[in-house]
Structure 1
Amino acid sequence: MKNRRKFIKASAVLGVGAMLPFQFCSSPKKEDSVATEAILGASKGILDDFGIQLYSVKENMAEDPVATIKAIASFGYTQIEGFDGGKGIFWGMKNTEFKSLTDDLGLDFIASHANTFENLEEQAEQAAAIGMKYLICPWVGPQKSMDDFKRLTDDFNRQGEICKNHGIKYAYHNHGYTFVELDGQIPQDYIMENTDPDLVDFEMDTYWVYTAGKDPIDYIKRFPNRFTLGHVKDKSGDLPFEEANGSTLIGKGIMDFPSILRAGMDNGMKYFIVEQERFDGTTPMEAAELNASFMKNFVF
């Protein structure tokens, strides 16, 4: 399968330049070397598979989702995690059409962020039918009291049961607000301690844990096999620590990803997904390509 993916991606790279309106097609020599490495399918690091959250290239997805996904495949990603950009998680296509697109590119559509509070039965059925692994609740927002988080915890268990009944897993993706003490408790701790491990997994956004002043490694080790997905998202050291919109190219920031990802691998994290939301000196597509190069060559 790996060789097939490399062949597919090489073919995609050779054909994608004429299709895309993006500036990276005329990138400078440094970026050209990255693209060449993707074409050759070179992989010197320890991660055989890694993905990208398509929200990282949301403007490009809104313009042309098919061309964007073809470009993503050409960079060396083997997995994608989706989001609902207003046309559903399949971007206006049927679930089977979207599956054919990703299969043809050698990409595994492993999961999608979605509004799990509406039409979950239908979403779960369609996602499971094409072999997706997860539907993920990406945001609930800060709450006024722990009672609110307790009600949400019950919601997560119910939503997890719906997903399980349809043959797909359910996960919650954190932001920083669940790590801030409220009514004498840490909401994230309560949620993890009171959700059923058979129904609810978690996607750790390492950036938000760190920005909230907590240690991602501590949480990974305290709750083994609960954080089955992880967002690989670095934090710039050139901005105030509390700056919410402070992500940067992976490996260029201040987060210790060798230690974080090692802890993840040792404690049940199966999916490593690139995400970047702030861009300084690169376009989102250029950043996606550079981040893929980092992940392909990542070593401890």
Structure 2
Amino acid sequence: MKTRLFIFCLSLSLLLSFTDSLAQKGKPLYTFPLGVQAYTYRNSFPKDVIATLDTIKALGITEMEGGAPKGMSPDEFRKLCNERGIRIPSTGDGYESITKDPTKAIANAKALGASYVMVAWIPHQRGNFTLANAQKAVDDFNRVGKILKENGLTFCYHNHGYEFQKHENGTLFDYMVQNTNPDYVSFEMDILWTQHGGADPVALLKKYGNRFKLMHLKDLKKGVKGDLTGGTPAENDVPLGQGQVNIPEILRLAKQLGIQHYFIEDESNKEYEQMPVSIAYLKSLRQ
């Protein structure tokens, strides 16, 4: 724990000195509140919620996508976040859970103060996402999304790469976007999983515009060839700007489209080392 804290403090000091040196060097490209996906700190929250939230605050992060850690109520977690200037605009739920009983997801989101509820996985045989899987998801998402909208919330599906299975003249992701009701179903683009699944994040943003309401910022190690499994080893998740994803162009377009919430998600096991580097990179980008 002491080693991890030392690495974090060193990385944070480098972040602060680096960002200070960027002052007066052009208009920043990234102008939105810094956000993080709570999964980034999946190894830390179970050990010490307070210390983890203090770490997130120290990085200058003011938005988080996630929910209350095990053993803590949404109200308690929201209070701790609020005390540190961190709001929770988006939370998640499992496919089976939300399709079975959307009211639980609604109550959880409202307790957290969230406006968005996202689902990040559709049950299917690994590496074999089918038209039947997509059709069922479309029906379920339209139904659930309608209920959420009636309760003042926006439903988002977070792509995971396997949806880019070929279908007719496009992909099953195309099928899902084209067959879900835009009044009820929106999307969260995960730029790593989009790239890993063989799609072009920039082209996808151009194609579907404001269907995307949220974004996960993460980068895929250079040289890694993706597939349709929706999975890759943790070491392939690298700091923003060090991988193969065209982050500057994605952010320029996302900004034009009006996407407001961006969550850095680091799925490596080096989040204390990599998060400050990713934030420094975002702050370095200029229009």
TM-score of the aligned structures, taking structure 1 as reference length? 0.81
Match of 2:117 in 1: 135
Match of 1:292 in 2: 279
Match of 1:100 in 2: 79
- Of 156-165 and 138-147, the range deviating more from structure 2: 138-147
1:72 paired residue among 53, 56, 66: 56
- 1:200 lines up with 2:188 in the alignment: no
Distance 1:181 1:92, change over 3 A: same
- 1:26 lines up with 2:6 in the alignment: yes
Distance 1:29 1:173, change over 3 A: closer
Distance 1:216 1:34, change over 3 A: same
CA distance in 2, matches of 1:295, 1:91: 31
**How far does residue 76 in structure 1 lie from its aligned partner after superposition?**
1.1
**How far does residue 161 in structure 1 lie from its aligned partner after superposition?**
1.5
CA distance in 2, matches of 1:43, 1:200: 40
Point out where structure 1 has 5 or more consecutive residues left out of the alignment: 1-20, 84-88
CA distance in 2, matches of 1:49, 1:43: 18
SS of residue matched to 2:240: coil
Match of 1:253 in 2: 243
Where in structure 2 are the equivalents of 1:184-195 lying within 5 Å?
186-195=171-180
Distance 1:72 1:123, change over 3 A: same
Distance 1:66 1:53, change over 3 A: same
Point out where structure 2 has 5 or more consecutive residues left out of the alignment: none
TM-score of the aligned structures, taking structure 2 as reference length? 0.84
The amino acid of 1:23's aligned partner reads: T
Give the length in aligned residue pairs. 271
Identity value in percent: 27
Match of 2:260 in 1: 270
Q: Where in structure 1 do 4 or more consecutive aligned residues deviate above 6 Å?
A: none
Where in structure 2 are the equivalents of 1:76-225 lying within 5 Å?
76-82=60-66, 89-118=68-97, 119-142=101-124, 145-182=130-167, 186-225=171-210
The amino acid of 1:126's aligned partner reads: N
SS of residue matched to 2:46: helix
- Of 198-207 and 235-244, the range deviating more from structure 2: 235-244
The amino acid of 2:78's aligned partner reads: K
**How far does residue 68 in structure 1 lie from its aligned partner after superposition?**
0.8
Does structure 2 conserve the Cα–Cα contact (< 8 Å) formed by 1:38 and 1:74?
no
CA distance in 1, matches of 2:52, 2:10: 21
**How far does residue 212 in structure 1 lie from its aligned partner after superposition?**
1.8
Deviations 1:32-67 (A, max 9, x none): 523646999x98833231211111221112222232
Distance 1:39 1:23, change over 3 A: farther
| CA RMSD after TM alignment | 2.7
Where in structure 2 are the equivalents of 1:28-47 lying within 5 Å?
31-34=11-14, 36=16, 45=28, 46-47=30-31
CA distance in 2, matches of 1:254, 1:197: 31
Distance 1:292 1:161, change over 3 A: same
Distance 1:296 1:105, change over 3 A: farther
